[in-house]
Structure 1
Amino acid sequence: MSEAPQPARGSYLTGNARLQEADRLADRYRAGETIRDIAANTGHSYGTTRNLLLLAQVKLRQRGGEPRPIPARRTAGNP
């Protein structure tokens, strides 16, 4: 993916630039990247990245990956 130029660290994204960045990050998140990966690759903090995704109305995935299967219960005759 081509990286857009990033504002200087500590500067604010406002107006149209903020909306464009939110849409760009949303595309990456929907493609399967994690919030942490996006943050690391863009120079944004985790919180800023998450807020931009919420601004883009992205439904965030649950944490932790796939749930583990529930083990079969053991019975008295089946240890």
Structure 2
Amino acid sequence: MANRFRNERIEIKLTKEEKALFEEKMKMAKCKTMNHFLRKVVSESNIYVVDLQPFREIQGSLFRYANSVKPNC
């Protein structure tokens, strides 16, 4: 194995449900092996980072406003 091009190993543990979902998506991607599927997902997927802080501030403001309003009951 020392002479192989891909000689790094990653091991993951999944629940039965996660494994079923993994296999379902692997079939949808038409990949024959888990190795091929994982390399495809890692190399072709984009990662997006979204800053939700402004929305958290708006949510906090709405929460404070809603708590300050008294119901007409």
TM-score of Structure 1 vs Structure 2, range by shorter chain: under 0.3
| Higher gyration radius (CA) | 2
> Relative CO higher for 1 or 2, CA cutoff 8 Å, sep ≥ 6?
1
Quick check: which one's helix share is greater?
Answer: 2
TM-score normalised by structure 1 residue count: 0.23
